[in-house]
Amino acid sequence: MSVFSDVAVRQGLKMALAGILGFAAALWLRLPNPTWCIFTVIVLMMAQYVGAIAEKAVLRAIGTIVGAAYGVLLVGNFASDPVVMIVGAFLMTAFGTMMFGGNWFPYAFFLAALTTLIVVGTTMESPDKAWHVGMTRIVEITLGIIVSTAVTSIVWPRYARIEFRDKFRTALLEVGRITSARSRQLLSPEATAAPFSDRELNFAAAMNSLRLLLRYGQRESSYFRAKLPVRTRLTAGLGAVFAAAESLGNPLPADSLYRRHVGAEFRALIDAVAAEFTALANHDDERARENPAPQAAADHLGEKLRALRESGLTREVPIDEAMNLASHYAALLDIVARLQAIRADLHDIHHTPETISPPVMDRPGALHISAFWFRNGIKSGITAVLALLYVNWIQPPGGLTVPFAAWLLTATSRLYPAGEGDRRVFSYALIVTLAGIPYALLLLVITPFLAHYFWLNVFLATGLFLLGFTITRQGGIGFYAQCGMLFFIGALGLNAQEPVSFQQIVGVYFGVVGALMISACVQRLLWPLLPQREIFSLFAEFFAGCRELLHPLPAERRRALEERLALIPPELAVWIHRTTTPEYPPGEADRLLALLRTAERLAYGIIASRRMADLAVPADVQAELAPEIAAMEAACRHALSQFETTFTRGRPADLAPLPPTTFEPLEDTLRDVRQRYLSGELRFPHALRFFGALHALEETGNAITLGVDDLKALSLERYRGDYAL
């Protein structure tokens, strides 16, 4: 395999090429500070996907012009009134950061905030130069926008929609293998309940990749964003298929009547489902919108089961065995239905031209800013203000770097791949501070060589390649990579064509370190993003969603909840894997993962049980079961409320398993209804689906009981607070 087939190598080469082209163009245009062009190239090439070139270039240029004009206005008119100038800088940086986390042209707002800080930070002490600096920064940053957009679009272009297709295929194959293995358990005498396997962990990782691609792809491609609802539905549907596969029943007894009479039909359905997974995973441009084979196999199995019941042979079948089969059958039917929906969505995505999307300059849907990004905007604005005050009053070495660097570190902290949020940020800041010392000493040695354009370009290309390679390999820019980027940009700004003093090199070091310390203080002390808080928040949201699903809901709201419940577990799993520091008791990560698996089982049980409302059931059966079902659902809602309270407060609520009196009335009534059905006395369409949905409701109660045990095994109070500075 060629080294150039590695996406990380390609991205490193693209960033190096864009940097060299931008630097050469800046020198040819005799721009006073080409460093800002290089910095813009680095920041914008972290958005690696192609899409809507005109939109990206125009809106980012507009953001740059607006930011520069705003900065010139602040410095030019309010230099003698620092309060107004500081408040104005806070408003722009806070608003720009909030909008960067939203869904309206995020990089345009990002560049507006960045350019404002650059102009204000470099002209506070010389407001008479504000207009000149603002104009040159516009040209320098716009040049970086043009170069980065051109290289991203022409050289080894990456398309978010294509990567989504490939990642979805990987996840689909994984869940297909899991479904095949678990569905065959019904007819395998040696099968037992499977532990959490490597395949399931691989699927969780694939789902998390899809979740991140949904988040970032919509920012970088209007084509991807135009079909975001369909792609979100596909991802959620895949999660629901996985949950259905996890719910598949236990093996039938070796002498089961069902093995003898419908074993072949079950195998045919399982094979048809496996073939459908394979067909959907193939990149078949001529894939039909519908495939009747799985549904035909399911219908044939249903006919055989009805014929078996009408023959009277099922009268002697134990009820538990019959309901195990009904649950397995209902789960397979659910998988078939969801695969049909996935097939239709894949067909629509492929056969709807990518040009059919909202106009380029249209707003991408209703504005949405999460609570996190609202808080992060305020934190970033405060960071920028503190950095400006620090530079203006203390006048430290490297002061020009501090404001935008401190803001950048705070604004993008959530985006660190596999990061720990704001936990240990002081420890990491200390490590960077110490690591920066040998880097400063290295600059003393190599700076004379940078006076030669050849070695300067070697240094530029090497640094940019390493940055691009690292960012892509990590799945985003990490904390250390971001600090390395700032040190690298500082070195480029030394202008080795003239003698570089020791004080200038020290200024590079202290500029980054000063920004890092200001950012660390704000991040860690104001609304810190901590793994335990994210875990608590996501679990609380998950159980609240499950509780809401137990109420009658409009179809649109129910679908939105089901999609969200499918996307929370992969994000939770990422944060749970961060629970490795001393404040977490040994084995706590495994216990949290066990609770997560129980929660997924619980959510699927609720989703499956709600399908009772979509089935035609005799009125007398409905009247007979309605009180018991309502009581069971009420008990489940109360228990889920306690689960939610446990994570909202960070300590166990009044947890207790569902009492036997919750199950007994429903079980007693169901026993009679099931026996009447097995004996042939009771007949109605979709009976097995109905019993499967009722079994799912009973399994929900069992999952709640198991969840109580999982929650009691946790030591939430040991780490609910703010630890590990």
Neighbours of 92 (CB within 10 A): 25
How many Å apart are CA 248 and CA 231, to the nearest integer? 26
Using DSSP, state whether 159 is helix, strand or coil: strand
Angle value at C-alpha 680, between 675 and 686, nearest 5 degrees: 85
Is pLDDT above 70 for 488? yes
Report pLDDT for 678.
67
- Which tens digits make up the pLDDT trace of 145-165? 889 888 988 888 888 888 888
Is pLDDT above 60 for 170? yes
Quickly tell me which residue has 């290295």 as its tokens. Answer: 442
Angle value at C-alpha 412, between 411 and 418, nearest 5 degrees: 145
Report pLDDT for 103.
66
- Which tens digits make up the pLDDT trace of 589-648? 899 999 998 998 899 889 888 877 777 777 887 888 888 888 888 989 999 999 999 999
Q: Distance between terminal CA atoms of the chain? A: 44
Residue 366 pLDDT grade (very low, low, confident, very high; cuts 50, 70, 90): low
Higher pLDDT, 246 or 48: 246
Report pLDDT for 8.
87
Higher pLDDT, 362 or 114: 114
How many Å apart are CA 6 and CA 104, to the nearest integer? 32
How many Å apart are CA 174 and CA 160, to the nearest integer? 21
CB 372 within 8 A of CB 82: no
Angle value at C-alpha 221, between 219 and 224, nearest 5 degrees: 100
Residues 6+ positions from 444 with CB-CB distance below 8 Å: 502, 505
Most confident listed range (63-67, 543-547, 599-603, 667-671): 543-547
Average pLDDT (417-430) is: 77
Report pLDDT for 19.
92
How many Å apart are CA 220 and CA 211, to the nearest integer? 15
Report pLDDT for 194.
47
287 closest CA partner among 206, 198, 351, 378: 351
How many Å apart are CA 461 and CA 281, to the nearest integer? 39
- Please give the sequence-ordered ranges of beta strands (E in DSSP) within 304-387, or none if there are none: none
How many Å apart are CA 536 and CA 650, to the nearest integer? 7
The rounded mean pLDDT for the chain is 83
Is pLDDT above 60 for 360? no
Q: Which two tokens stand for residue 137?
A: 């920064």
Is pLDDT above 80 for 216? no
Neighbours of 557 (CB within 10 A): 12
Task: Report the sign of the C-alpha dihedral through residues 188, 192, 193, 196, in that order.
Answer: negative
CB 110 within 8 A of CB 63: yes
Using DSSP, state whether 408 is helix, strand or coil: helix
209 closest CA partner among 421, 417, 44, 47: 417
Q: How many helices (H) and strands (E) does the chain have?
A: 26, 2
CB 147 within 8 A of CB 18: yes
- Out of 134-138, 214-218, 279-283, 386-390, pick the least confident: 214-218
Residue 522 pLDDT grade (very low, low, confident, very high; cuts 50, 70, 90): very high
How many Å apart are CA 484 and CA 512, to the nearest integer? 9
Query: How many CA atoms, within 13 angstroms, populate the side-chain half-sphere of residue 39?
Result: 26
Angle value at C-alpha 551, between 548 and 556, nearest 5 degrees: 75
Residue 191 pLDDT grade (very low, low, confident, very high; cuts 50, 70, 90): very low
- Which tens digits make up the pLDDT trace of 667-706? 777 777 777 776 667 677 777 777 777 878 888 888 998 9
- Which tens digits make up the pLDDT trace of 300-347? 988 888 888 778 777 777 877 877 888 888 888 889 999 999 998 888
Average pLDDT (240-251) is: 82
196 closest CA partner among 206, 204, 188: 204
How many Å apart are CA 323 and CA 388, to the nearest integer? 69
Phi, psi of 159 (to 5 degrees): -115, 125
Neighbours of 311 (CB within 10 A): 11
Query: How many CA atoms, within 13 angstroms, populate the side-chain half-sphere of residue 453?
Result: 4
Q: Which two tokens stand for residue 287?
A: 């894939």
3-class DSSP string for 468-506? HHHHHHHCCCCHHHHHHHHHHHHHHCCCCCCCCCHHHHH
Average pLDDT (357-374) is: 62
Is residue 76 classed exposed, middle or buried when 0-12, 13-18 and 19+ CB atoms within 10 A define those classes?
middle
Is pLDDT above 80 for 1? no
Report pLDDT for 296.
93
Query: How many CA atoms, within 13 angstroms, populate the side-chain half-sphere of residue 526?
Result: 17
How many Å apart are CA 169 and CA 175, to the nearest integer? 10
CB 537 within 8 A of CB 647: yes
Higher pLDDT, 270 or 213: 270
- What are residue 158's DSSP bridge partners? 49
Quickly tell me which residue has 């969780």 as its tokens. Answer: 204
552 closest CA partner among 482, 487, 485, 637: 637
